[in-house]
Structure 1
């Protein structure tokens, strides 16, 4: 029986690297008389439209007595699919609304909030709703895990700007 040096055995038995997902969400600058930061929800849906993972929920966390949570239902798709079942705040997912600009999020397979996403076809969904403003939803279809680096994107029309999704094996 042939023996391998210790370092070779360590390389053979080392776990595979986790896949990762990087997301950039742009909140555009709007020239309106009364501007409010949008509430934004980011989640992953399976092919049957059930929620595989909630990645981010940005809302007004500063309002007293959780008053900001009552407007979460304005993100209608997220609310119907997952939001009404959540208790806010969601650790590692929810946070304060964001100002205009680009906001980068990074997720690693096997770690919250992405968790262990089973191989398959999914949609990343980004939904925004703004008081005295509009609502918008953008979707990006993707396969997980990526077999090679992949760059995907979508462009909003009013409440959302450019959305970029980068997947790495």
Structure 2
């Protein structure tokens, strides 16, 4: 039986600029587990879009929702630790860069996106856990506090198409946030 090609999955994200990706790579080299860094896929997921294979009209509706938010202000985002996020039934867990209070502006943008999306494109509400997945693996025995937190100014949001099972992300469109 022939395998079905992977269906695309869409989500809104904030992408670290290249100098920040370099800082993330340096932190991973120093404190990581030896698993390969997913450098070409570094992102902060703001919100997934509910349907995996969006028809063109629904994709356009998601883009319109994001376009309606461009007067939201750019904001600083600071990550201060590495953690393992265990997932049932998996041996390779997400190894993530994360934060708590310093991520509240990202949580506000996530809520604004969710509220702006048409109801048929919204996932059921769930807690927003800001993170950047760095690798997959067995993980850390305990969280690791970074001696130098990693900060970037989030200046845009991007709609990403992920080809599940292919490890490939395509940036479909980006929207600038307001500089204030």
Higher strand share: 1
**TM-score band, normalised by shorter chain:** under 0.3
**More RCO (CA 8 Å, sep 6+):** 2
Q: Which has the larger radius of gyration?
A: 1
Return the TM-score normalized by structure 1: 0.26
Normalising by structure 2, we get a TM-score of 0.25
The structure with the greater share of residues assigned to helix is 2
